[in-house]
Amino acid sequence: MKKIPIGISSCLLGQAVRYDGGHKRDAYINGTLSEYFDFHAFCPEVEIGLGTPRPTIHLVKVDEIVRCVGIKDPELDVTERLHHHAKHQKDLHADLCGYILKNNSPSCGMDRVKIHDGKQFSKEGVGIYAKEMMRLNPLLPVEEEGRLGDAGLRENFIQRVYVLYRWKQMIATGLTPSDLTHFHARHKLIIMSHDDYRDLGQLLAGVTKVNVAHIAEQYILQLMITLKKVANRKNHVNVLQHIQGYLKKDLAADDKAELCEVIERYRNGTIPLIVPITLLKHHFRKSPDPYIDDSYYMSPYPQELRLINQL
């Protein structure tokens, strides 16, 4: 598989574009993720002409309006420049399948960025550039480098990246109603691990050659919103038990008991998700099932990423 195009704050790649002339190179991003992602670097503060090094900026709220201004020189207001730069980059962002932002940045922070209201700080802001970029690209999986240290958030982000990548590959070849329903079928178990899949299934019930483009737009938006909900242990157990049902005619009593025990141990948090999935894969190699073989649930991304080892 070719590397997946991902937008990223330039400083996270080690580029010396920070306000102080430094960088925030991230080892996980430049190591593990660089094996699978083709990073496209963006630094809106440099790109709007602030230079490196540069005066520090922050978010302030005046009359309920958030602006991005200089800390030492409040007359330096770059709010509109950052806003318009995000719009100017829209075509470049449209080719991406994900975006990793620098946390706490007044331009690039995804959430909980400090805002000063004249009296005190509150962590309720979003970077000016990031907010507009996300508004213009509602399908795009976005995460901050700091949150990638959380196993659940990291897995959720990368899973969404691969789903959107597969979606774009399908769209590029020309979309048919059968393509759309097949895409849903292959991702149904993944959807189940995040939330109820029935609304998405009902959306596809009336798809035809005439309305397929319109239905597809609604489907992918709803799908990406659904997948933003981090899959929890309870939902994974439900999916594992659902998959187990496809083996009910093939498992010997002792194999069934072992599988039930492993799923229960996962439910109790004593083993990671990789253990029941590995055991299920073992049984399906002996007793293949076309639907399970076609599903992405047990192989949603390259196994070398080892994401489910920590879930």
Distance between CA atoms of residues 68 and 71, nearest Å: 9
pLDDT band at 307 (very low <50, low <70, confident <90, very high): confident
Q: Please write the tens of the pLDDT for every residue from 58-112.
A: 999 988 899 999 999 999 999 999 999 999 999 999 999 999 999 999 999 999 9
Residue 90 CB: number of other CB atoms within 10 A?
12
- Decide the pairing of beta strands 37-42 and 4-9: parallel
DSSP 77: B
Distance between CA atoms of residues 114 and 125, nearest Å: 6
Residues 8-12, mean pLDDT to the nearest whole number: 97
End-to-end CA distance of the chain: 25
DSSP string, 256-289: HHHHHHHHHHHHTTSS-THHHHHHHHHHHHHS--
pLDDT band at 238 (very low <50, low <70, confident <90, very high): very high
Quick one: tokens of 86? 């995000």
Beta-carbon contacts of 14 under 8 Å, excluding residues fewer than 6 positions away, are 23, 25, 30
What per-residue confidence (pLDDT) applies to 310? Answer: 84
pLDDT band at 309 (very low <50, low <70, confident <90, very high): confident
pTM for this model (two decimals): 0.95
Q: Which helix (H) or strand (E) holds 250?
A: none
Q: What percent of the chain has pLDDT over 70?
A: 100
Q: Is the pLDDT of residue 1 over 80?
A: no
Q: Please write the tens of the pLDDT for every residue from 244-257.
A: 999 999 999 999 99
Q: Which amino acid, residue 89?
A: Q
Q: Is the pLDDT of residue 8 over 80?
A: yes
pLDDT band at 196 (very low <50, low <70, confident <90, very high): confident
Q: What percent of the chain has pLDDT over 90?
A: 91
pLDDT band at 117 (very low <50, low <70, confident <90, very high): confident
Residues 118-144, mean pLDDT to the nearest whole number: 94
What per-residue confidence (pLDDT) applies to 243? Answer: 97
